[in-house]
Amino acid sequence: AQESAAEPCPAGDQALCSTDVPPAANAYPLDWVPIREVPEELQDEECRSCRGRYIDPLAGADTGVDPELSDINASAAQTELEGDEVFLHGGVSVEQGYRRLKGKDAYYNRSESRGKLTGGITIREPGILLKGQEASFSSDTGEAEITESQFVLHQQHMRGAARSLRRDAQGLVHVENGALSYCAPGEQDWEIRADEMELDLDEGLGTARGAKVAVGGMPVLYLPWLRFPLDDRRRSGLLWPDIGSDTRGGIDIAAPIYLNLAPNYDALYTPRYIEERGVNNEVELRYLNPAVGSWSVGGAYMETDKRYEDERPEQRDHSRWLGKVEHNGLFGQRWRSRVDYSKASDVDYLKDLQTTNLETRRETSLLQLGSLDYLGDDWLFDLDFQQFQSLADDINNDYQKLPQFTGQYRGEYEPFALEPILLGQYSYFDTDDNRVKGQRIYGEAGVTYPMLWQFGFLKPTAKYRYLEYELTDLGSPGANDSPSTGTPLFSLDGGLYFERQTTLLDRGLLQTLEPRLYYLYSEYEDQSEQPDFDSAELTFTYNQLFRETRFSGRDRLDDADQLSVGMTTRYISEEDGREHLNASIGQIFYFRDRQVRLLSGAEPLDQSSSEMAGEVNFYPNERLTVRGSLVWDPHSTDMNAGNVQASYERDDSSIFSVGYSYRRPLTTIQTENRNQQVTEQAHFSAYVPLGNRWSLFGAVNYSVEAGESVEDMFGVEYDTCCWQVRLLHLRYYDSVTGETLDFNDPNLEQESSTQVQIVLKGMGGFGSRVTGLMEDMIRGYREREY
């Protein structure tokens, strides 16, 4: 047979050359099991792309007991014990707790509890496999030193080789003159070589000094210092650059550097070169401490933006910056604090510099919020400071709540018991424009008596609402500067539950039929003198049928005398109670015109009944989801709003989703004196692995009324065991600096952007532009962490 110890593979230059280390006890060298022999339940996506996976024979071992405290059981062909010295020869195998050692010969000294293994050794603990020529170890501290070593970290999906490998008493693995790779044994795609590496398995972090990243055996990158994750708990040091170019800035390369300063605070610095603009410095600091909650302070700064200088010569200062503070805190489970404050240097910042986060690009305002809540047993108190920075010249700033204080009684819904309704709110509304501003006080006091039975419920509610203002900067001198209103409200909400057993597609189902009636009455009071600080007309949906108000905010007390009729049916699976289908439809019947409107001059609404509103949610199985909603106007017999979304996912992580939405904007929404154009949009997105390492993905948002694709993206992905490349092309319409977009403007040109993403798996390449875009546009797609 082949001479037992393979010719030692010099770890330095052609590392990992030989995988034919003497066949260990189990048949798989380095514990790498080819895919056809991997049990079904262990075949995850990674296993498929690597055509196999590491399987740790000690995976299930009980790691509770410290090996140092367990007996040493050794076996061999021949042994000699002399006083404290033990010699073992011939196929030595030693077990100490969950630790396993194997070799040709072994020597162990009991008093020093130190030993030596020679002749093709293997040391194994759950999660780690060490092989090599010779090893000296200490059984009381777990220290081991191995020459000509190869090692495997099973969970981290990493293997490596080293001239010498040492594990110290704290469990840190020191790799001298070694190499580390995420690729499957035998694959040389890429590895990290370093004079010195330290792997801290507890912290999940590896540090390399004098590191060289070698691709296909060729060193391509030299790094004096490199930190990389050993599991997905931590982001790593050097992250993979985002490379791309787009019509808003030309070539755009960002190289994020992650500084893990301490377990509970880290920093991410991203220098970014933008060809037509200059260098942008993006920083994000994160700090987590139970005493102060979680804080994230970030920002970006660019000295002068060359392109902005050409586009806006009239501006004096051409620096571009963005500041962002985010905070969430919970103290004693009673006090809850939140800060979400963003501020940009100019209205076009997001359009010009957030080129690949479509959601934020389209935002028309930046939230600037600070809030403190007290979550009492019976009372809920909120204190909010909220304002918005407008990101469009044609949109004036919304009112600022500086502050708004709300106190609310927290009901228990205890059946057959009177329950008070109490709410008080003080708000001060300010604005930079010369519009009316001032203080508002809103109060609500009433009682409700919920009655609940198995077959249904009945809930009468009666309350009195009061609203008063103290206004300044009123336009006309004679206007009333302290209008006030107060009206009573009465509502009766009732419903029944009917059930029957039924079957659908030969599956036992319980079908329910839930009719519901809701009568709402509230007195009319003239409120034309009242401003509109934080109110909007609520979107008409099935939920609107059972609401007490048709306005958001608290600037209007509805006048109402109406009856809503609704019906819901559900199909519930008999085995696990999962709901496979629910559908609802309903309508409101008005017994009086609604005179209270947001715009004081607006006509009363005089229809005798509302539109029909319906909703459907259909989940036949784990894979398919279909959702739809419809608002249909029986008077004009046309659809005011309609929406269908369907998404289908398969085990091979392919995703298809289709969507259609149609909406006729409400009369009260002014869109820049254009007539109420319908918004009709179709959506299609998919991520399709082709099975041969290639995957295609794409998304289209097609505006039907404009006959244009508003935004579309197409991309291709090549994914191997240890690296992945994605190429993506994005096209979208957006308003150019200073004007608003109009689709039928003939010389409207489309913006486009091309991005490349290279990920060396295991190096913690986390979300980047391409990932962000895919998660934005492909509905249901969530990136996997490597």
Contact residue for other proteins among 15, 30, 86, 545 (CB under 8 A)? 86
Interface with other proteins includes 568 (CB under 8 A)?
A: no
Phi and psi angles of residue 770, each rounded to the nearest 5 degrees, phi first: -65, -45
Interface with other proteins includes 74 (CB under 8 A)?
A: yes
Q: Which is nearer to other proteins, 18 or 535 (CB)?
A: 535
Interface with other proteins includes 441 (CB under 8 A)?
A: no
User: Rule CB under 8 A: which of 204-263 touch other proteins?
Assistant: none
Contact residue for other proteins among 7, 574, 638, 652 (CB under 8 A)? 574
Q: Which is nearer to other proteins, 303 or 739 (CB)?
A: 739
Q: What does each C-alpha distance from 671 to 198, 394, 534, 605, 679 come to in angstroms?
A: 61, 10, 18, 21, 12
CB 451 within 8 A of CB 458: yes
Interface with other proteins includes 627 (CB under 8 A)?
A: yes
Contact residue for other proteins among 681, 720, 737, 754 (CB under 8 A)? 681
Q: Give me the least distance between CB of 233 and other proteins, in Å please.
A: 20
Lay out the site mask for other proteins across 281-320 (x = CB under 8 A, - = otherwise).
----------------------------------------
Contact residue for other proteins among 24, 33, 72, 445 (CB under 8 A)? 72
Interface with other proteins includes 342 (CB under 8 A)?
A: no
Interface with other proteins includes 266 (CB under 8 A)?
A: no
Q: Give me the least distance between CB of 49 and other proteins, in Å please.
A: 27
Interface with other proteins includes 734 (CB under 8 A)?
A: yes
- The piece of 174-182, 282-290, 360-368, 601-609 that touches other proteins (CB under 8 A) is 360-368
CB 104 within 8 A of CB 91: yes
Q: Give me the least distance between CB of 546 and other proteins, in Å please.
A: 9
Q: Which is nearer to other proteins, 582 or 609 (CB)?
A: 582
CB 74 within 8 A of CB 88: yes
Contact residue for other proteins among 411, 486, 604, 691 (CB under 8 A)? 411
Q: How far apart are CA 625 and CA 579, in angstroms?
A: 12
Reply yes or no: is the peptide bond before residue 403 cis, omega within 30 of 0. Answer: yes
Q: How far apart are CA 93 and CA 98, in angstroms?
A: 13
Lay out the site mask for other proteins across 688-727 (x = CB under 8 A, - = otherwise).
-------------x-x-xx---xx----------------
Q: Which is nearer to other proteins, 455 or 694 (CB)?
A: 455
Q: Which is nearer to other proteins, 257 or 367 (CB)?
A: 367
Contact residue for other proteins among 4, 473, 743, 784 (CB under 8 A)? 743
Q: How far apart are CA 549 and CA 559, in angstroms?
A: 9
Interface with other proteins includes 170 (CB under 8 A)?
A: no
Nearest to 532 by CA among 436, 603, 433: 436
Q: Is 144 exposed, middle or buried (0-12, 13-18, 19+ CB in 10 A)?
A: buried
Contact residue for other proteins among 4, 26, 73, 608 (CB under 8 A)? 73
Per-residue tokens: 112: 């020093």
Q: How far apart are CA 315 and CA 298, in angstroms?
A: 25
Q: Give me the least distance between CB of 696 and other proteins, in Å please.
A: 23
Q: How far apart are CA 39 and CA 20, in angstroms?
A: 24
Contact residue for other proteins among 3, 506, 672, 749 (CB under 8 A)? 672
Q: How far apart are CA 30 and CA 140, in angstroms?
A: 26
Interface with other proteins includes 141 (CB under 8 A)?
A: yes
Residues in the chain: 786
Q: Give me the least distance between CB of 165 and other proteins, in Å please.
A: 23
CB 535 within 8 A of CB 555: yes
User: Rule CB under 8 A: which of 470-499 touch other proteins?
Assistant: 496-499
User: Long-range contacts: 380-384, Cβ < 8 Å, 24+?
Assistant: 380/406, 380/407, 380/408, 380/410, 381/405, 381/406, 381/407, 381/408, 382/406, 382/408
Interface with other proteins includes 747 (CB under 8 A)?
A: no
Interface with other proteins includes 510 (CB under 8 A)?
A: yes
Q: Is 80 helix (H, G, I), strand (E, B) or coil?
A: strand
Interface with other proteins includes 608 (CB under 8 A)?
A: no
User: Rule CB under 8 A: which of 368-387 touch other proteins?
Assistant: 375-377, 380, 386
- The piece of 118-126, 148-156, 176-184, 658-666 that touches other proteins (CB under 8 A) is 658-666
Interface with other proteins includes 413 (CB under 8 A)?
A: yes
Burial state string for 471-482 with b = 16 or more CB within 10 A and e = fewer than 16: beebeeeeeeee
DSSP-derived secondary structure letter, 127: T
Contact residue for other proteins among 414, 473, 481, 652 (CB under 8 A)? 414
Contact residue for other proteins among 2, 111, 692, 747 (CB under 8 A)? 111
Interface with other proteins includes 425 (CB under 8 A)?
A: no
Q: Give me the least distance between CB of 743 and other proteins, in Å please.
A: 6
Interface with other proteins includes 572 (CB under 8 A)?
A: yes
Could you tell me where the beta strands, DSSP code E, fall in 140-182? 144-153, 158-167, 173-181
Contact residue for other proteins among 581, 666, 688, 727 (CB under 8 A)? 666
Interface with other proteins includes 533 (CB under 8 A)?
A: yes
CB 546 within 8 A of CB 568: no
Q: Give me the least distance between CB of 3 and other proteins, in Å please.
A: 21
- The piece of 179-187, 249-257, 314-322, 405-413 that touches other proteins (CB under 8 A) is 405-413
Furthest C-alpha separation in the chain: 112
Contacts of 450 (CB under 8 A, 6+ apart): 413, 414, 415, 416, 417, 419, 457, 458, 459
**How many positions of this chain bind other proteins (CB under 8 A)?**
122
Interface with other proteins includes 326 (CB under 8 A)?
A: no
Q: What does each C-alpha distance from 579 to 137, 502, 509, 621, 751 come to in angstroms?
A: 59, 14, 9, 10, 43
Interface with other proteins includes 19 (CB under 8 A)?
A: no
CB 72 within 8 A of CB 98: no
